[in-house]
Structure formats: C-alpha cells, structure tokens
C-alpha cells in the first residue's frame, strides 16, 4: 500500500519523516512541484519520493496536509477519488499576519498563537472538507497534536496516542493499521460528527491534548 501526502509544511513533512523511519513508501507533493522537495526527499531516503499533486492523490491512502484556506486550490482539478481513502489532517483556522491588527485583536482568544477560528456555521470541519474530495472515504486524523511531535511516536514508557474518526468502518481500519505501523497508538473516536469535533482544533475537547499509551 502506498501513501500520498498533499502538502509539505510542518504536518506533511513530519508525517513523511515518521513514514521514512518505518520504511513505509510514500509520495509527497506540494503546489511548487517535485523539484522544490529535493532537499526533503534526500534527507528522508528512498522510501519517500517527490511527485506532483495528482501523483500523490492517486495513492491508496492520501493525507491532505494543507492550510484550510488553501483546500480549494490544492484539491482542484484532481482525478475522481473513486472510493480511495483520504485522511483529513486539516483544522478550520486561519493564520494571522504577524504585526497585523488581527494579531493583537483582544476579542480573539487565539491571537497569541497567531491564528483565528474560521466560522463554519456549526458544521463539523470534516463535513465541509469532504465536499472538496467527492467520492472519497474520509477519515479524520493527524490534526490534534503539535506537528513537531508527530515524528516522535514513541516516548519513554509508551506510545503517543493518535485519535482518528470516520464513518466508513473499512477505511477506518486501514487508517488504524497505518497509525499503528507508524508507531503511534491509535484510538477510535467514532463518527466524524462525534470524534471529528472532539479532536478538531482549536476548540475540540481533546484538541492539543497529549496522551501516552503505556
């Protein structure tokens, strides 16, 4: 089984690192093209290759690891998903320009972290996300922790918990197996409506919470 990663920022690159450490083949892509990823793939070794977004999107399991505001651009014009598994690693937040009035807005409790919530009108973020990947089987995962710890699935005494949720049992089983193969401890939060909300940044009850399975 091959993994595709769309997005090479903190989330995409760190997932690629942990996959490389476990010799799990993956193709990583960004909007700047494969040449821009040459230093990263040279660092990670032969199990990780750089490709186009369309090539990454053709993998058996595809992680979308782009900013929320870039979803439309990143996922536009791709071939039909045809039931392939897509992991939603996004969160409905916008990143603020440092020094801008929004970055010091006293009404925004997230301003100190350089982000603001995007109002989805009460909808679960993965419900909105699914509209960008029609025909895919969507699973929510890899979105609730600081991206810098994703490449460190094991800690002294245990494994770092990674939440996932979804509405397709077979797709969830595949993602669970992937999380386990990466060294994280998979924990099923149930459906997208329930689990997706619990783990979604910025205000999910389990967002940014680090659990270790002993």
Q: Which DSSP string do the residues of 141-196 spell out, in sequence order?
A: ES-SS-GGGTT--EETTEEEEEEEEES-HHHHHHHHHHHHHTT-EEEE--SIIIII
pLDDT of residue 97: 87
Q: What is the pTM of this model?
A: 0.94
Number of other CB atoms surrounding residue 209 within 10 Å: 13
Tell me how far apart the alpha carbons of residues 185 and 32 are, in angstroms, rounded to a whole number. 33
Query: What is the pLDDT at residue 31?
Result: 94
134 or 104: which leads in pLDDT:
134
Are the CB atoms for 162 and 138 separated by under 8 Å? Answer: no
> What pLDDT does 62 receive?
98
pLDDT of residue 157: 85
Residue 110's pLDDT is what?
A: 82
Q: How confident is the model at residue 27 (pLDDT cuts 50, 70, 90)?
A: very high
CB half-sphere exposure, 18, CA atoms < 13 A: 23
Give the pLDDT band of residue 111 (cuts 50, 70, 90).
confident
Q: CA–CA separation, 11 vs 75, rounded Å?
A: 17
Average pLDDT over residues 63-68: 97
d(CA 153, CA 134): 31
Closest CA to 203 of 131, 128, 120, 147: 120
Where does the pLDDT of residue 180 fall: very low under 50, low under 70, confident under 90, or very high at 90 and above?
very high
Give the pLDDT band (50/70/90) at residue 109. Answer: confident
Mean pLDDT to the nearest integer, 42-61: 97
User: Mean pLDDT over residues 65-79, rounded?
Assistant: 96
The answer to whether 179 and 186 have CB atoms below 8 angstroms apart is: yes
CB count, 10 Å around CB of 21?
16
What is the pLDDT at residue 102? 87
pLDDT of residue 113: 80
Instruction: Say yes or no to pLDDT of 106 above 90.
Output: no
Both structure tokens of 76: 């536009």
| Average pLDDT, rounded, for the chain | 94
Cis peptide before 30 (omega within 30 of 0): no
Start-to-end CA span in the chain (Å): 29
In this prediction, residue 38 carries a pLDDT of 97
pLDDT tens digits along 136-170: 999 999 999 989 898 899 988 899 999 999 999 99
Predicted pLDDT at 57: 97
Q: Which residues, 6 or more positions from 81, have their beta carbon under 8 angstroms from its beta carbon? A: 57, 133, 134, 135, 136
Taking 90 as the threshold, does the pLDDT of residue 5 lie above it? yes
Query: Using 50, 70 and 90 to split pLDDT, how confident is the model at 1?
Result: confident
């Amino acid at each position: 089984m091959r993994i595709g990663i769309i997005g090479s920022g903190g989330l995409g690159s760190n997932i690629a690192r942990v996959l490389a450490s476990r010799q799990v083949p993956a193709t990583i892509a960004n909007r700047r093209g494969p040449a821009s990823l040459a230093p990263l793939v040279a660092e990670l070794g032969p199990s990780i290759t750089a490709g186009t977004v369309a090539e990454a999107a053709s993998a058996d399991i595809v992680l979308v690891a782009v900013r929320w505001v870039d979803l439309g651009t990143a996922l536009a014009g791709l071939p039909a998903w045809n039931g392939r598994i897509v992991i939603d690693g996004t969160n409905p937040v916008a990143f603020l320009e440092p020094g801008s009035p929004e970055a010091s807005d006293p009404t925004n409790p997230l301003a100190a972290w350089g982000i603001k919530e995007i109002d989805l009108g009460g909808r679960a973020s993965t419900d909105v996300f699914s509209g960008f990947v029609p025909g895919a089987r969507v699973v929510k995962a890899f979105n609730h922790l600081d991206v810098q710890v994703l490449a460190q699935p094991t800690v002294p005494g245990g494994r770092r918990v990674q939440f996932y949720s979804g509405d397709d049992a077979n797709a969830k089983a595949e993602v669970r197996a992937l999380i386990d193969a990466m060294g994280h401890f998979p924990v099923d939060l149930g459906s997208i409506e329930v689990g997706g909300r619990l783990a979604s940044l910025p205000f999910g009850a389990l967002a940014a919470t680090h659990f270790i399975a002993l």
